[in-house]
Amino acid sequence: MIEKNYKEDFPLLQTNKTIYIDNAATAQKPAVVIEAEKRFYEESNANPLRGFYPLSLAATEAYEDARKVVRDFIHADSEKEIIFTSGGTESNNLAIIGAAMANRRAGNHIITTSIEHASVENPMEFLKEQGFEITYLSVDENGIISLEELEEAVTEQTILVSMMQVNNEIGAIEPVAEAAELIKKKNPDTLIHVDAIQSYGKMYIYPKKLGIDMLSVSGHKIHGPKGSGFLWVKEKTKLKPLILGGGQQKGMRSGTENVPAIAGLGEAAEEIYENLDEKRAHLYGLKQRFIDGIEKLEGTHVNGKTGEDSAPHIVSVSFEGIRSEVLLHSLEDRGIYVSSGSACSSNNHAGKQKGSKTLRNIHLKENLLDSTLRFSFSVHTTEEEIDYALEVLGELLPVLKKYTRH
C-alpha cells in the first residue's frame, strides 16, 4: 500500500473532483512540473546554447540539467544520445523514417507489429509508398508477438525492426530483449527501435541492456508537459533528420529548443522514477482490485493478460451488449473519465477499417469490438476511486443493456 497521498501534488485534482482514470491518454501535471515551466519563463526565458549573458546561461543550464536527468534514468552513455522532440509521435517518426532513409542502401525491408500506435503505423505506410517492403508481425490473443515468426521474417535486407514495449490499449508487454537478441544474431546490422511511450516511467528501461538502437519517450504520458519528449539514439546510429533549419541538437532536430517543456520533462522524469517500486506495487494493486470487481459483473470480459506480466496501469474491458460510446458518456455523467481504446485512434482515416486494430488483431469477437473501454490508472488513483467506479458500473450495466439494439 502506498503511503503518500500523491493526489495532493496535482492542482487540477484539487479543484476538479472527477475521477480521472484515462492516464494512458494523457497524465495530469503535478505542481513541480507546472512550476518548472513557470520558473523558466519568470527567471531564464532565453535561448539555450547561444549567448553568454546570464539569461541564456540559465536557459542552457535548465536544458542540460533535464538532458542529464533523462540520460541517467535510461543509463545512456552520453547526453549526446538524447534528442529532445515534441513528443512520442515525432520521436517515432524520426526514428522510423530517419533510420529508413539513412540506411536504404543497405536494404529496403522493415519489420513491425500488427498492433502498433498510429505514429508507427502511418510512417510505415508512408515508407511503403516510398518503395520499402513492410512485414507486419501477428500477435496472439494477449497481444504478444511470436519470436519464431520474427526470426523467420528477418533477412539480409532487413534494415529496421520497430516495436512497442507496452501496448497502449491492452497493456501487453512485448519480449523486447529476447526479440533484440535474435534479430542481432540473424542480422547484426538491423537497427531496432522501441516505442517506450507507455512503458517509460512504469518500469525500469535500459536500452543498451535491451540490445536496441533507438527508444521513443513522450513527456505528457509521465505527467510532463504536452509538446515534450525525446528519442534516445545509440551513438553511431545512422539517422536522417526530418526537420531542417538552424541545425540545433547537432543537426538532428532543427528549431528553437522548447526549454520550458524540456525542463518540465526533466522534473516529471525525476518524479515518476522516485520510489518507482512502491508506485508499481500500488498500480498493480489497483489493477487487481479493479479486475476482481469487474469479473463479478455480468457480461464483462477483460482483454489480454492481467498479472504482473502485463503493464501495471492499463485494463481493457469489453461489455457485452453495450456500445462503448454509450457507456463512456454514462460514466462521464457520474464524474468518471475513461476512454474507448486508443486516444489517438478514435478518429478513423477515410478508407480504414473501423474499430480498434489492436482488438481485431487479438481476435476479439466482432460483437465486442464496439463495446470496449480502456481504464488506465496513475499514482494518484486511489482504492476509493476504484471502488466507486466499480459501484457505478454495477448500477449502469443492467440499465444500459435494456436499451441495447438487437
Q: Is the dihedral of CA 36, 5, 376, 13 positive or negative?
A: negative
C-alpha cell at 103: 540506411
| 22 touches 396 (CB < 8 A) | no
Measured in degrees and rounded to the nearest 5, phi and psi for residue 190 equal: -70, 130
Tell me the Ramachandran region of residue 390: left when phi exceeds 0, alpha when psi lies from -120 to 50, beta otherwise.
alpha
Strand-by-strand arrangement of the 314-319 sheet: 300-303, 314-319, 372-376
Q: 283, 377 in Cβ contact below 8 A? A: yes
3-state secondary structure of 153: helix
SS3 253: coil
Active site residues: 344
Q: How far apart are CA 386 and CA 94, in angstroms?
A: 38
DSSP letters, 96-147, are: HHHHHHHSTTT--EEEEETT--HHHHHHHHHHHHTT-EEEEE-B-TTSPBPH
CA distance 196 to 88: 9
Q: Is 177 in contact with 323 (CB distance < 8 Å)? A: no
Q: Give the number of other Cβ atoms within 10 Å of residue 336's Cβ.
A: 21
Distance from C-alpha of 222 to C-alpha of 390, rounded to nearest angstrom: 25
